[in-house]
């Protein structure tokens, strides 16, 4: 079974997430290693509903708030040169990256 590095990207900002996934994909192609992805995972939606009137008086009106968390997975063949370039990437502040080596 071949060894690969699984890279999970998580963020509420889709543009930065896709930009980082594209950069990782370009590094893999430039160094000549196999790369699968970025595969989008289901978007997690966090919903909060609150009353507009703080005292409970008046009409029953509500505010609805939603935070969407987007995720992507990339599987990259782990060569030393590729991993060094990926770890040197400038990662945006609101993007969380998780790297796992599997065999």
Question: Tokens standing for 32?
Answer: 């000549």
Please identify, in words, the CATH class of the domain defined by 4-47+63-102.
Answer: alpha beta
- Torsions phi, psi of 91, nearest 5? -95, 125
pLDDT profile of the chain (103 residues), mean per 10: 90 96 95 93 95 81 94 94 93 94 84
pLDDT of residue 35: 93
Taking all residues of the chain, what is their mean pLDDT, rounded to a whole number? Answer: 92
- Torsions phi, psi of 40, nearest 5? -75, 135
* pTM for this model (two decimals): 0.85
d(C-alpha 77, C-alpha 35), whole Å: 6
pLDDT in tens, 53-63: 877 777 888 99
d(C-alpha 18, C-alpha 14), whole Å: 6
d(C-alpha 78, C-alpha 75), whole Å: 9
């Amino acid at each position: 079974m071949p060894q690969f590095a699984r890279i999970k990207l998580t963020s509420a900002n889709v543009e930065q997430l896709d930009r980082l996934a594209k950069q990782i994909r370009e590094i893999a192609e430039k160094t000549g290693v196999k790369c699968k992805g970025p595969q989008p995972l289901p978007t997690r939606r966090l919903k909060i509903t609150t009353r507009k009137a703080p005292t409970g008086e008046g009409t029953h009106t509500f505010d609805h708030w939603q935070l969407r968390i987007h995720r992507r997975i990339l599987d990259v063949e782990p060569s030393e040169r590729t991993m060094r370039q990926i770890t040197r990437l400038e990662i945006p502040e609101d993007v969380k990256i998780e790297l796992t080596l599997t065999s």
